[in-house]
């Protein structure tokens, strides 16, 4: 066993993000995962047999996503059977947590090369599908049957949509503010597509039947007037479909390497994992944890808000980012500079790795040094990762 090591990002790649029932809807989840794994091996040129583990995030592990999709994706890519894989679920932060686990493995000295990523086909496996099948086994939902949960939280509503409404009310974020934010997300994403900024990070998908080279989510015809005409998701609520993330399909993967592995395999690291933080917060408001998580990560890293050159905070819902911006003093121009999940989509288990991939490429394109990524997660949790471009 080697001594404690730094953890480096050597390569990061993603599929284009397909919209619900769009170009990638019919692609098996294992084939989406296999696509980015194959691209990652091709781009790095490493011997795939040298990889110590594959850690993937994925939610609703049913059907095409069951049976340890990390392992299935690796094998579907034609890669060595000797390499294991594990699939994890930290809700929306699953593949960001995969990056954390990969980095921790190489920093401990127990591993040299670990692949971290995630995959989700939401067109095939609907949002919360795992909970929706519960009633046939006698469970109406994940919580109400637990005596301990009911004793602590009663019968309070546990729902991301309800939580987003709670945040909008708590921070007094108006529907108009959220719609303005959503419009900027689409505009920034469209500019990034038109400028070719995503081309280097995307491995176009083409299996002979399905082809997609660019993200399908950005809506160029979105206007404040069109958003104003939408019905709220709940009676009397402030949220609409336009101020929520898009249901999407996609995959992303990164190669995380130790210092020794970088030397042994002749690799050129592109960034260093500078800080990894995970926190918990109110599981009913659920989506607010990125605020205390960011504060803790910056303090523990010895950095200030002014040190951060780019932020990727997942746009699960507009009030998540807007509340975070009110509490964290980072220039809004540095936050989701190429758009977020409202425009680009949110393939749940893949989004953490997708955000990391995009943030790395943005730092390289702009010459920034530090990037901070965070996202809200079911159960009232948040991952925060700070990377340093090399």
* Token representation of residue 234: 């709940």
Is 35 among the catalytic positions?
A: no
Considering the candidates 35, 58, 274, 376, report the single residue annotated as catalytic. 376
Burial class (CB in 10 A: 0-12, 13-18, 19+), 151: exposed
CA-to-CA separations, 134 to 61, 68, 120, 121, 140, in angstroms, rounded: 13, 20, 20, 20, 6
Task: Work out the widest C-alpha separation in the chain, in whole angstroms.
Answer: 61
Is 376 among the catalytic positions?
A: yes
CA-to-CA separations, 67 to 60, 63, 133, 323, in angstroms, rounded: 11, 8, 17, 38
Per the listing, tokens 């926190």 go with 279
* Token representation of residue 75: 């094998």
The CA distance from 372 to 386, in Å, is 4
Determine the distance from the C-alpha atom of residue 178 to the mean position of all C-alpha atoms in its chain, rounded to a whole number. Answer: 21
Considering the candidates 58, 92, 186, 361, report the single residue annotated as catalytic. 92
Considering the candidates 35, 274, 346, 361, report the single residue annotated as catalytic. 346
Is 58 among the catalytic positions?
A: no
Residues labelled catalytic? 92, 346, 376
């Amino acid at each position: 066993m080697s001594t404690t090591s730094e953890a480096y990002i050597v390569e990061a790649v993603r599929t284009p993000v397909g919209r619900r029932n769009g170009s990638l809807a019919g692609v098996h989840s294992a084939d989406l995962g296999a696509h980015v794994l194959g691209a990652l091996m091709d781009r790095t040129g490493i011997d795939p047999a040298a990889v110590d583990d594959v850690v993937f995030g994925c939610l609703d592990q049913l059907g095409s996503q069951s049976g340890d999709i990390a392992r299935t994706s690796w094998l579907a890519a034609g890669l060595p059977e000797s390499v294991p894989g594990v699939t994890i679920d930290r809700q929306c932060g699953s593949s960001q947590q995969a990056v954390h686990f990969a980095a921790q493995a190489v920093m401990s000295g127990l591993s040299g090369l670990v692949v971290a990523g995630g995959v989700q086909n939401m067109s095939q496996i609907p949002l919360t599908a795992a909970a929706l099948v519960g009633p046939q086994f006698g469970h109406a939902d994940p919580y109400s049957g637990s005596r301990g949960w009911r004793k602590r939280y009663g019968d309070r509503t546990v729902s991301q949509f309800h939580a987003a409404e709670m945040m909008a009310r708590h921070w007094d974020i108006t529907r108009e503010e959220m719609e303005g934010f959503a419009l900027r997300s689409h505009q920034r994403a469209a500019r990034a597509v038109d400028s070719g900024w995503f081309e280097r990070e995307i491995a176009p998908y083409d299996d002979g039947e399905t082809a997609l080279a660019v993200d399908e989510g950005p809506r160029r015809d979105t206007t404040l007037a069109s958003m104003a005409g939408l019905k709220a998701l709940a009676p009397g609520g402030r949220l609409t479909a336009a101020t929520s993330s898009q249901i999407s399909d996609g995959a992303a993967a990164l190669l995380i390497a130790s210092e020794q592995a970088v030397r042994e395999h002749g690799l050129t690291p592109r960034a260093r994992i500078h800080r990894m933080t995970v926190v918990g917060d109110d599981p009913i408001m659920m989506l607010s944890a990125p605020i205390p998580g960011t504060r803790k990560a910056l303090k523990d890293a010895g950095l200030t808000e002014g040190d951060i050159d780019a932020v990727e905070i997942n746009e699960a819902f507009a009030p998540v980012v807007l509340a975070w911006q009110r509490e964290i003093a980072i220039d809004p121009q540095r936050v989701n500079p190429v758009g977020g999940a409202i425009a680009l989509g949110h393939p749940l288990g893949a989004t953490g790795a997708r955000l990391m991939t995009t943030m790395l490429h943005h730092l390289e394109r702009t010459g920034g040094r530090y990037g901070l990524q965070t996202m809200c997660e079911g159960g009232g949790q948040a991952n925060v990762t700070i990377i340093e471009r090399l």
